[in-house]
């Protein structure tokens, strides 16, 4: 009789959640009281945006990520909507562009200045007019530049191409009219060629967004779906919802067969919504409960039982909404693999929560930081509309690798016949060698950076140091920030010393080979 170990081996088995100290939180933030089921918060490495209470229309705040502590009650707002703001999303390829949608049936695109806001912003960069009723959801395309999806209470999903100089766009490039009720959730697969939706009619649909056809439809009656999520490249969908007995429930689906879920599990009897988040780099799934303080996290495996429960972060403070920091904004020196921003309206507080892998070493842990999605688009909007699919461009999170660039770039058309999908080559749990991916990307980024610096005026060039804006990394304010910056510099010095030692060894080896060749030639 064979013996099977009770515990499975996993490097993420002991991941724990750590709430930020009081001085690292955002206090006195007037968080919205709207009952709409959305995140109400969007985060990138430079800013945190949160929907706020506002009389006579809708508004949201954009706060620099390092500006923690108490917020000035007269802090400027983004307040161009005539109705309540229902959703906000940062452009994944430009950290200074954000989209918002509202009950006034419009979607607006905003340019956020790099300097601190001194007055309210009321004029958007672009305005999208097409929905007949309020717009509840917006999503940026994961790999194509300037492609935005919006979903309204007119049961339609509209695809917008923002690669135009028009300030008002009233004609979407495509309208998906496959739903007979309100769309509650939208999610893309890795290359953005498929769209999964959850609808109020309790059905999950898998849609080809460019053709507008429904490829799969799930009408499983014992699972009333609220949110749906693509699980990276593993060809599976994850959904949260309620069971027949109104218990909160999670389900896992095969992308190619949505008739019956692969897995179905009741969690508890609470009434709040469950927000799912997936990290394709670590294959970890986080389930955040609205109205409670819990964050459950699991590890996804390609074979049964598929979903492996790891642990649960608990807090007595209930969250109304949640924001998520992209991987390129994490603190890798602290072994941080995920970061949430928890909205606590009862205390007017935004609390960062870091998910950390406990490691004793202070050096960069390459096994928990594989190549991840970068800040550069893989396609232009027109290329994606013409039918081209391409996975995201991958970068390394190693400090000093120079692979991340937050300066807005414009993608140049490239021949797509020889391109390969890096995310598909990466496979399940595997990583491509850094030399194969990073060097061509670094060359491309440095070439584009030179072009940007040439076009900038002299006073703008003075602000750029080694391709990075010095205002985007402000000087440390507290002792902790100073220590973190010191540790980063120490890590960089250690890494450079290792490189110098390796070069010295290579030089000695070459000298020995030359000496041996000289003696061999003397013999003959």
Residue 452 has pLDDT above 80, yes or no: no
Q: Is residue 156 in some structural domain?
A: yes
Opening angle at CA 193, ends 191 and 196, nearest 5: 105
- Name the residue with higher pLDDT: 479 or 44: 44
Q: Is residue 470 in some structural domain?
A: no
The model's pTM: 0.76
Q: What is the pLDDT of residues 363-420, one digit of tens each?
A: 888 899 999 999 999 999 999 999 999 999 999 998 887 655 444 443 344 443 333 3
With beta carbons less than 8 A apart as the criterion, state whether 287 and 297 touch.
yes
| CATH number for position 210 | 2.130.10.10
Rounded to an integer, what distance in angstroms lies between the CA atom of residue 303 and that of residue 469?
45
Q: Is residue 34 in some structural domain?
A: yes
Q: Is residue 522 in some structural domain?
A: no
Domain count, the chain: 1
Average pLDDT, the chain: 84
Q: Is residue 233 in some structural domain?
A: yes
Closest CA relative to residue 355, chosen from 368, 333, 336, 328: 336
One-character DSSP codes across 244-299: TTS-EEEEEEETTB-SS-SEEEEEES--S-EEEEEETTTTEEEEEETTS--EEEEE
Q: Is residue 45 in some structural domain?
A: yes
Closest CA relative to residue 190, chosen from 279, 282, 297, 94: 279
3-state secondary structure 285-340: EEEEECCCCCEEEEEECCCCCCEEEEEEECCCCCCCEEEECCHHHCCHHHCEEEEE
Q: Is residue 472 in some structural domain?
A: no
Q: Is residue 388 in some structural domain?
A: no
* Range of the structural domain that residue 153 is part of: 16-379
In the predicted model, what is the mean pLDDT of residues 73-83?
A: 91
Q: What is the pLDDT of residues 83-129, one digit of tens each?
A: 999 999 999 999 999 999 999 999 999 999 988 788 999 999 999 99
């Amino acid at each position: 009789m064979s013996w099977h170990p009770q515990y499975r081996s996993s490097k993420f088995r002991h991941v724990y959640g750590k709430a930020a100290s009081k001085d690292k939180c955002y206090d006195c933030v007037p968080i919205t009281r709207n009952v709409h089921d959305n995140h109400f918060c969007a985060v990138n490495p430079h800013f945190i945006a949160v929907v706020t209470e506002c009389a006579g229309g809708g508004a949201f705040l954009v706060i620099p990520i390092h500006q923690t502590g108490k917020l000035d009650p007269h802090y400027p707002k983004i307040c161009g909507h005539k109705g309540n703001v229902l959703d906000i999303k940062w452009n994944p390829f430009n950290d200074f562009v954000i989209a918002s949608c509202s009950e006034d049936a419009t979607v607006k695109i905003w340019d956020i200045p790099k300097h601190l806001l001194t007055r309210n912003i009321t004029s958007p960069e672009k305005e999208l007019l097409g929905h007949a009723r309020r717009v509840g959801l917006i999503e940026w395309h994961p790999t194509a530049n300037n492609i935005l999806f919006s979903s309204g209470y007119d049961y339609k999903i509209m695809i917008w191409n923002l690669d135009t100089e028009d300030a008002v766009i009233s004609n979407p490039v495509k309208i998906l009219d496959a739903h007979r009720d309100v769309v509650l959730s939208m999610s893309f697969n890795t290359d953005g060629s498929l769209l999964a939706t959850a609808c109020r009619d309790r059905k999950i649909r898998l849609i080809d967004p460019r053709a507008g056809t429904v490829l799969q439809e799930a009408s499983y009656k014992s699972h009333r779906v609220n949110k749906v999520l693509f699980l990276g490249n593993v060809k599976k969908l994850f959904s949260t919802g309620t069971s027949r007995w109104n218990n909160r429930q999670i389900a896992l689906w095969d992308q190619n067969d949505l008739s019956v879920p692969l897995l179905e599990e009741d969690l508890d009897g609470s009434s709040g919504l469950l927000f799912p988040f997936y990290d394709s780099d670590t294959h970890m799934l986080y389930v955040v409960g609205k109205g409670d303080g819990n964050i459950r996290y699991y590890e996804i495996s390609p074979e049964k039982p598929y979903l492996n429960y790891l642990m649960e972060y608990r807090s007595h403070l209930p969250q109304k909404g949640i924001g998520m920091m992209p991987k390129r904004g994490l603190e890798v020196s602290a072994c941080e693999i995920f970061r949430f921003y928890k909205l606590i309206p009862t205390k007017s507080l935004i609390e960062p929560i870091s998910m950390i892998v406990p490691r004793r070493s202070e050096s960069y842990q390459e096994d928990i930081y594989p190549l991840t999605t970068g800040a550069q688009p893989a396609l232009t909007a027109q290329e994606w509309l013409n039918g081209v699919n391409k996975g995201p461009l991958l970068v390394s999170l190693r400090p000093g690798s120079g692979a991340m660039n937050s300066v807005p770039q414009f993608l140049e058309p490239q021949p797509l016949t020889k391109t390969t999908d890096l995310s598909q080559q990466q496979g399940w749990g595997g990583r491509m060698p850094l030399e194969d991916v990073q060097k061509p990307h670094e060359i491309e980024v440095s070439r584009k950076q030179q072009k940007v610096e040439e076009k900038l005026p002299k006073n703008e060039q003075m602000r750029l140091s080694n391709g990075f804006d010095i205002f985007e990394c402000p000087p440390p304010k507290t002792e902790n920030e100073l220590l973190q910056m010191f540790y980063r510099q120490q890590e960089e010095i250690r890494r450079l010393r290792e490189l110098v030692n390796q070069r010295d060894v290579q030089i000695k080896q070459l000298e020995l080979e030359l000496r041996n060749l000289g003696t061999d030639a003397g013999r003959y």
